[in-house]
Amino acid sequence: MKTETLINRLSANLEPVHPQQVPRIIAAAVITGSVTATALVFYAIGVRWDLSEPSVLIVVIAKLTFTVAVVALATTFLAKLARPGGENGTPLSLLSVPFIVLVLVATVGLLLQPSTYWDGMMMGERWLECLLAIPAAAVVPFAAMIWAVRQAAPTDLRRTGALIGIAAGGVSATAYALHSTEGLLPFVAIWYGSGIALCAIAGAKLGPRLLRW
């Protein structure tokens, strides 16, 4: 059978894919992952009981502003990379904006305090819990987004996997922010950022294997 004939037969019954189908599947995966990660945090380590206090709420909102921005940007770019050739013309450098803004604000916060306070502001009391909890709670969101993206046909599997890791880490960090009593931005910049970075590295490693089609 000639190649042209084979291609014609294979493409004869293809139906056009709705342009919003991939973003919808990814959005559903993000919602599923968010609910699961929040439930895991709630049952495993608990949610702060003082969220109704204005001073606490302001701190939590500041952390959520960062994590939600990461999730929003990552999933927006993920919807593009999920398609063949989607990596072309996708300005992934914009994904660094929330991290850069957070680091700048955190640095200003450090400079406004005596240097003797810096270690405490950066390390807090639960840095190890944060570093472990964010990747752990990201497992289900990561799996859900891997499944969603496999419904499409990404071609840059390593970069797509890393982006899934960032999105899953952002979802997990959002859930963890409802538990964490560490409210100083230098801590958030270092340890939330490190937790999300670990998820990105894992995604880059696993992407070529899990997203192969």
Assigned domain for 5 exists? no
Residue 82 CA to residue 139 CA, distance in Å, equals 19
Q: Which residues of the chain have pLDDT under 70?
A: 1-19
Q: Is residue 37 in some structural domain?
A: yes
Per the structure, the count of domains in the chain is 1
Is the residue at 80 inside a domain? yes
Is residue 145 within 8 Å of residue 167, measured between CB atoms? yes
User: Is residue 147 domain-resident?
Assistant: yes
Q: Quick count: other Cβ atoms within 10 Å of Cβ 45?
A: 14
Amino acid 12: pLDDT = 53
pLDDT at residue 4, as a whole number: 61
In a domain, 58, yes or no: yes
Q: Which of 90, 197, 71 is nearest to 141 (CA)?
A: 71
pLDDT of res. 97: 97
Cβ pair 204, 162 in contact under 8 A: yes
Inter-helix orientation angle 139-150/157-177, to 10°: 140
Task: Give domain status of residue 189, yes or no.
Answer: yes
Domain boundaries, position 34: 21-210
The whole-number pLDDT of residue 42 equals 95
